[in-house]
Amino acid sequence: MIRRDIAGRGICDPETLDAMRTVPREEFVPVNLRSSAYYDRPLPIGYGQTISQPYIVAFMTEILNLQPASRVLEVGTGSGYQAAVLAEIAGEVFTIEIVEPLGVSAQTRLGSLGYTNVQTRIGDGYYGWPDQSPFDTIIVTAAASHIPPPLIEQLKPGGRMIIPVGSVMQVQHLLLVQKDLQGKVTQRSIMPVRFVPLTRGSGRRR
């Protein structure tokens, strides 16, 4: 899969490729779908959610330009697969999931696989994780109608964020948002994508 679908489609950052080779995707999919774990496809993980397609996971990881000291915020833990890939490269990963049973099982799974540099939390990631901010990089793995202002606030000057924006009915675009050292924010559209929607739980901070 790595040779054909990841490197073969243009991912060339050695650290991203190593991380994709190291993280056992079969551990992140339901037992009955394990034989499909190494097809380059999203797969259902319950509660109407999916584990992203490996190529997209690799693409989003590469574009973040992670460093060993990077502190990363992920919104949308899901299975925890993307968090594990990030944790192979970055120093610390903070990941938020709104569906409690998914967040709890991702936490258990990441712990049993030895990812001590990932912290998980249940809540509405729209508001980010103020206590741990600012972050060098932010990755959102569910599609939002707009870039959540709290996430822009929690991005360090010089940092970058990757986020799919658009509704389920429309084409969504993967946006790369950059904050320069003066705090000026720019964004560019990278490619059309399809993600599950970013939902807003109770509307209050959790």
Q: Which of 62, 88, 92, 124 binds ligand SAH (CB under 6 A)?
A: 124
Q: Of 77, 95, 71, nearest to 160 (Cα)?
A: 71
H or E stretch at 84: helix 81-89
The answer to whether 52 is a known catalytic residue is yes
d(CA 45, CA 15): 27
Residue range at the interface with ligand SAH (CB under 6 A); choices 7-15, 59-67, 130-138, 191-199: 191-199
- Residues with Cβ < 8 Å from 109, sequence gap 6 or more? 27, 28, 79, 80
Q: Of 126, 73, 79, nearest to 95 (Cα)?
A: 73
Three-state DSSP state, 117: coil
Pick out residues in 149-178 that bind ligand SAH (CB under 6 A): none
d(CA 98, CA 85): 20
Residue 143 or 177 having the CB closest to ligand SAH = 143
Residue range at the interface with ligand SAH (CB under 6 A); choices 14-22, 49-57, 86-94, 160-168: 49-57
Residue 32 or 186 having the CB closest to ligand SAH = 32
d(CA 196, CA 117): 26
- Contacts with ligand SAH by CB under 6 A: the residue count is 24
If one asks whether residue 199 binds ligand SAH (CB under 6 A), the answer comes out as yes
- Residues with Cβ < 8 Å from 120, sequence gap 6 or more? 77, 80, 83, 95, 96, 97, 103, 106, 107, 110
If one asks whether residue 49 binds ligand SAH (CB under 6 A), the answer comes out as yes
If one asks whether residue 126 binds ligand SAH (CB under 6 A), the answer comes out as yes
Q: Which of 55, 59, 81, 135 binds ligand SAH (CB under 6 A)?
A: 81
| 35, 36, 52, 167: the active-site residue | 52
If one asks whether residue 148 binds ligand SAH (CB under 6 A), the answer comes out as no
Could you list the active site residues? Answer: 52
Which residues sit at the interface with ligand SAH, rule CB under 6 A? 49-52, 75-76, 78-79, 81-82, 96-99, 102, 124-126, 141-142, 196, 198-200
